[in-house]
Structure 1
Amino acid sequence: MEVYSNENEQVDALRRFFANNGKALAVGVVLGIGALAGWRYWSGHEDTSAREVSAHYQQLTSALDGSKPQTLEAVAKFANDNSNTYGALASLDLAKQYVDKNELAKAATQLQSGIKHTQNANLQAVMNLRLARIQLQQKQADEALKTLDSIKGEGWTAIVADIRGEALLSKGNKQGARDAWSKGIDSEASPALKEMMQMKMNNLG
């Protein structure tokens, strides 16, 4: 670090600095202003794009009808084209339509795709729960258990325990099912869910 003995030397040093670097500073200021303007434009563009995507999502899903293949295709294209939360929500909506049509493989594929398209932990949890239920319907208990293992957060403990119990029971593991439901009952579950799990445990004998 350069040390100056008095104020005059500091002033002279500043003059030399601006004389030697004035052009570079001017360019830097211009670039800085340009970058700020660019950032503001980009932010505004992102906000506009997000609103447009949201509106498009609402439009497509409002028209979604399992009996009309063209609406399914439109939502599927939207989900494929949008690797974001709206794309994930579209996959979730589409999966429900496929479940209603008993096209479980297509529903599972949509959910797996949607899970990859969002970073929202709660949305991922919901999609994984639905995926696990579908896998149970497909007699894929081991896959369902793996899916349940990926769900984190105490808020999901009871629902995960309920489905886990079903998966274990389908494998013939009655004690495992009992333990899962017991854990669900001991968690912060709703009274209705606790009662349902208790009934399942009672039915085990």
Structure 2
Amino acid sequence: MAIDDLLDEHEQSERVRSWLRNNGVSIIAGVAIAIGGIAGWQWWQKEQGNHLSMANAEYQVVLKQLQDNKLDDAAKGIKALDGGKASVYADLAALQLAKAQVDAGKNEEALATLRAIQASPELKPAIDQRIARLLIATGKQDEAIKLLGDATDSASLEIHGDALIASGKRDEARGLYEKALKTLDVAAPQRRVLETKVMDAGGTVAEPAESV
């Protein structure tokens, strides 16, 4: 090996040592932070798991209270469930509470329960539909119509049509029923009921084309 090559290697080694002296603390700190980050992530995951486990246990308590017809106790339990990822348990429990309140003839309380749910975008349409059905049942069809607004899914269109029927707007209801029917699969369980509503509103139902 030529002397120039040895000098180059020596020079390079000195540069590496110098760089390590200047930056070694930063490297060690970076490694420590990375390890700490991994440990912190694992701790956070464990805490989330524990939180959800506790929420599930509280949810089961609420369901038992509903089963025992202790609606006031269940309502208090639902408030304790709300928060973070566990709020999904609060939403589900609130839906069960609203059903129990309807069964007990407490429609206004059921409406308040449903309206208090801070639902995710995925769950909100289903909750709005339940609220709308309850509004129609309590003679508040105008509120139901306003709530459903421009919703275009089959279930919302059908309920919107029901609200219009309750308001005496038969022709408008028929249009929504027919529109809802077009979005339903031929084998959908609700299709027969919707066809009956179309005909009751003065419309006709075409026979589905047979598959070849």
Question: TM-score, normalized by length of structure 2?
Answer: 0.76
Q: Deviations over 1:101-124 (max 9, x none)?
A: 22222212221222x1x4361x33
Identity %, equivalent residues? 26
Moved over 6 A (4+): none
Within the candidate set 96, 106, 109, 1:106 is matched to 109
The structure having more radius of gyration, on CA atoms, is: 2
Which residue is 2:197 aligned to?
A: 200
Aligned pairs for 1:1-205 within 5 A: 11-65=13-67, 67-80=69-82, 84-114=87-117, 116=118, 118-119=119-120, 121=122, 123-149=123-149, 157-189=153-185, 190=187, 192-205=189-202
Which residue is 2:210 aligned to?
A: none
Contact 2:161 2:174 in 1 (8 A): yes
Contact 1:95 1:110 in 2 (8 A): yes
Give the Cα–Cα distance (whole angstroms) in 1 for the partners of residues 150 and 58 of structure 2.
31
Contact 1:184 1:194 in 2 (8 A): no
Change (3 A) 1:124 1:8: farther
Aligned length: 193
Change (3 A) 1:150 1:182: closer
Give the Cα–Cα distance (whole angstroms) in 1 for the partners of residues 12 and 52 of structure 2.
51
Contact 2:56 2:89 in 1 (8 A): yes
Contact 2:154 2:184 in 1 (8 A): yes
Give the Cα–Cα distance (whole angstroms) in 1 for the partners of residues 26 and 162 of structure 2.
70
| Structure 1: 5+ residue stretches without partners | 1-5
| Structure 2: 5+ residue stretches without partners | 1-7, 203-212
* Structure 1 residue identity aligned to 2:129: L
Root mean square deviation of aligned Cα: 2.7
Change (3 A) 1:68 1:19: same
Give the Cα–Cα distance (whole angstroms) in 2 for the partners of residues 175 and 9 of structure 1.
92
Give the Cα–Cα distance (whole angstroms) in 2 for the partners of residues 98 and 150 of structure 1.
29
Question: TM-score, normalized by length of structure 1?
Answer: 0.79
Q: What's the secondary structure of 2:116's corresponding residue?
A: helix
Change (3 A) 1:77 1:84: closer
